[in-house]
Amino acid sequence: MLVADNELNQAGLAIRAAWKISTDKDKTSLRPLLKVAMSHSTTISDAVALIADQSSKSEQLNYLDKYLVVSELQLEQAKEAVAKIWLDNQRYKPAIELLKNCQSVDCKRVYLAAKTKYEQVTADDLNSYF
């Protein structure tokens, strides 16, 4: 007999739907979906990433630092959003590490941009010694 975890299923559907509608101008349905996603340990980090992504630039990094458990991120959209916030704040190594196993085209694009930027920054540091 297969026992399904209905709460996990609901949380998983809620976070996927939340990410899907996060690009809409009308975000009225976002809050109830995030509430469901935040109630389950499996989806909470993806919800934290979405909340940070939707927050003002000045609040994003602090929110991630306070609430995100990186190892619990499941969705590539969430990983990509976190990595972009980190890149905006010159946290290249963690962004690269987070995205190294991504499969989506967008995620790979951000990964390559992060590696390129990190290489430029480290090359600039080396140039200062000559």
The tens digit of pLDDT for each residue in 96-109 reads: 999 999 999 999 99
* CATH of 6-127 among 1.10.3470, 3.40.50, 2.30.29, 1.25.40: 1.25.40
Chain mean pLDDT for the chain: 91
pLDDT > 60? residue 3: no
Residue 103, classed as helix, strand or coil, is: coil
pLDDT in tens, 32-70: 999 999 999 999 999 999 999 999 999 999 999 999 999
- Neighbour tally for 51: CB within 10 Å: 22
pTM for the model: 0.88
Provide φ and ψ at 23, rounded to 5°.
Answer: -90, -10
Domain boundary assignment for the chain: 6-127
Q: pLDDT tier at 117 (50, 70, 90 boundaries)?
A: very high
